[in-house]
Chain A
Amino acid sequence: MVTVLIDVQSLVKVFPGVRAVDDVTFGVAEGEIFGFLGPNGAGKTTTIRIIVTLLRATSGTVIVDGMDVTKRPEEVRKRIGYAAQFIGIDDDLTARENLVMQARLHGVDRQAAERRTAELLELFQLGDAADRRAGTFSGGMRRRLDLGQALTHDPRVVFLDEPTTGLDPQTRHALWDYLRDLNRRGVTIFLTTQYLEEADALAGRLAIIDHGAIVVTGTPAELKAGLGGDAIIVTLADGVLPAEVERAAGVLSRFSDSGTARTHERTVRVFTADGSARLAEVVRALDAERVAVTRLELSEPTLDDVFLRHTGGRMRVEEVKPPSRMLIGRRRR
């Protein structure tokens, strides 16, 4: 029996001039790690802020653990943990004080708050820094502390908005381990990310969101399998003419299961069920047509391919901008 912990139906959020979330429907089962994958501006943060009661929906319903977020926001707040994209830590308090305060604000009594804080400091390896002011912490430590803050009251589900944006790869991988560990302890995780590899590494199921709408939902394996086998990717010479790319696409489309090839700048890709077996044929065909190839790849489909297929564009990852931290004034995303 699967319990649906988060049930989002026909969610719409309209800001003046923008439909930030446009008829989004999905459900998250208890115990899942559910990923919301999309570029900046896709509507991820807006959706998450509506679910965690920080923003009001224009229309649609959101039920979290049986509670309607609009009608019983306080009940929802008791049940969830939330770590925003921009970390909310008081720099003048120590890690321990920040955690105790969050627990207390969630109605945990003092003794229990201190006990829980000690556990969380241990879990996130902040024990040595527990009594240092948070202002002295590194980016990774701050992220861990913020994650801890979302867990002080033992929520059944945590919402993490781009939990690793701005972290170096090593710290990012360490954080993934924490999240997997957390999930093994029974915590349902809803996370948004703009990193394909992150969705691939963590999410049991994911939805790809673009321009405010969900374009596809499934497990990473399902989504990749849906593309039909392996990807053959051909890169043409630098400065190649668009007509030449089209000609190459014409040749390659003969090998495609769907009969079409996708082009992006000077690369052409097709999906074929038995890519490795047909690679030699591909090379001969390209050679016969005198297509100047600089690089030929055969790869299992990636989420990037999935994204490309469903949105018609490459995943636009904008690397970390200096955070505009005005979450209240302009909370549009």
Chain B
Amino acid sequence: MKRSVREAGILWVRLMKKLVRVPMLLFFALFQPLIFLLLFSSVFSNLDQLPGFAYDSYLQFLVPSIVALTALNSAFQSGIGMVTDMESGMLDKFLISPIRRSSILLGKVFADGSRAFAQAMVIILVSLVMGARFETGVAGVLVMAGLAALFGIAWAGLSNVIALRTGNGELTMMLGILITFPVLFLSTSFMPAALLPDWLDTVATFNPITYIVEALRALVNTGWDWGAVGQALAVTGGLAVVTFAAATAAFRKVIS
């Protein structure tokens, strides 16, 4: 355990240095969510007048969705990094050193989580400037970013599966984009459940993003809703376990 943490730590430090030095790595996943945040909060601002819309403003409703979108974008960046390391020979360098194979993925998980956390904080700060209020205060904001990080880790596992199976950076990015949109719109991200068509409401129930968005929305708008947070933790944690089991299997296949 101590050994894994030490080894993963070395690799985490490397990825953090890259993140700080190559601003694109930090901001790449933020552009689209920021644009959505600015556009949607204006374009849909009158939605708050609809009967059944239970939030103070569309912005209050939207911020959690944008945080989740950011985490999703961030996650799909992870596989691209994996392909880069495979192509540049860095992965070979890690494989040739006497570290545990699992430490390589573990270091990446920590780094993906850290990046998603930082990116979620940027979105939250921008929305604060735009006038959003956070019911649960600073503690709530930290919990939100933590949930976003976990959510990012869960989807990063999927991104790494694609990366390891295809070995192709472009494909990894394309599939990421392809997955993001249905996942996002087939949920309560942009429209409250009460206003969704019935079939969509049903689909949304099976969409993991719905749970994270509902938990974040509660933290922003109503307060400490432990039920929602617990559900989000369970669903996202479960997803993370599944995607990382798949990523580990794909990783083993590549290195054997």
Give the contacting residue for A327; candidates B7, B18, B21, B86; CB below 8 A.
B86
A329 contacts B167, C-beta separation under 8 Å: yes
A88 contacts B89, C-beta separation under 8 Å: yes
User: Per-position contact with B for A29-63: 1 when CB-CB < 8 Å, else 0?
Assistant: 00000000000000000000000111010000000
Q: With contacts A92-B17, A105-B10, A328-B91 known, is A53 near B96, CB below 8 A?
A: yes
Cα separation A181 to B17 with both chains bound (whole Å): 34
Q: How many A-B residue pairs have CB under 8 A?
A: 78
A84 contacts B89, C-beta separation under 8 Å: yes
Contacts of B95 in A (CB 8 A): 53-54
A131 within 8 A of B: no
A101 within 8 A of B: yes
B254 within 8 A of A: yes
Contacts of B13 in A (CB 8 A): 101
Cα separation A30 to B97 with both chains bound (whole Å): 22
Q: Is the interface of B mostly helix, strand, loop or mixed?
A: helix
B18 contacts A105, C-beta separation under 8 Å: no
A328 contacts B18, C-beta separation under 8 Å: no
B89 contacts A77, C-beta separation under 8 Å: no
Q: With contacts A84-B89, A329-B86 known, is A101 near B10, CB below 8 A?
A: yes
A87 contacts B89, C-beta separation under 8 Å: yes
- Smallest CB-CB separation from B90: which chain A residue? A88
B167 contacts A326, C-beta separation under 8 Å: yes
Q: With contacts A56-B256, A90-B14 known, is A326 near B92, CB below 8 A?
A: no
Interface size on A, residues (CB 8 A): 33
B51 within 8 A of A: no
In this complex, which of A52, A77, A90, A133 has the most chain B Cβ atoms within 10 angstroms of its Cβ?
A90
Give the contacting residue for A77; candidates B18, B22, B98; CB below 8 A.
B98
- Smallest CB-CB separation from B7: which chain A residue? A105
Cα separation A90 to B14 with both chains bound (whole Å): 9
B88 within 8 A of A: yes
Cα separation A90 to B21 with both chains bound (whole Å): 12
User: Per-position contact with A for B90-125: 1 when CB-CB < 8 Å, else 0?
Assistant: 111111111100000000000000000000000000
- Shortest distance in angstroms between B135's beta carbon and chain A's nearest beta carbon? 40
A106 within 8 A of B: yes
- Smallest CB-CB separation from A325: which chain B residue? B87
Cα separation A133 to B18 with both chains bound (whole Å): 11
Contacts of B91 in A (CB 8 A): 88, 328
A242 within 8 A of B: no
A149 within 8 A of B: yes
- Shortest distance in angstroms between A267's beta carbon and chain B's nearest beta carbon? 40
- Smallest CB-CB separation from A85: which chain B residue? B89
Q: With contacts A92-B21, A101-B10, A106-B98 known, is A149 near B93, CB below 8 A?
A: yes
Cα separation A82 to B97 with both chains bound (whole Å): 9
List, sorted by A's number, 25 A–B pairs whose CB atoms are closer than 8 Å: A52-B96, A53-B96, A75-B98, A80-B96, A82-B96, A86-B89, A87-B89, A88-B88, A89-B88, A92-B21, A93-B14, A93-B17, A93-B18, A102-B93, A102-B97, A105-B7, A105-B94, A133-B21, A325-B87, A325-B88, A326-B87, A326-B167, A327-B89, A327-B92, A328-B91
**B residues with CB within 8 A of A:** 7, 10, 13-14, 17-18, 21-22, 86-99, 167, 254-256
Query: Which 8 A-B pairs give the minimum distances between C-beta atoms?
Result: A88-B89, A105-B97, A329-B167, A88-B93, A77-B98, A92-B18, A328-B86, A78-B98
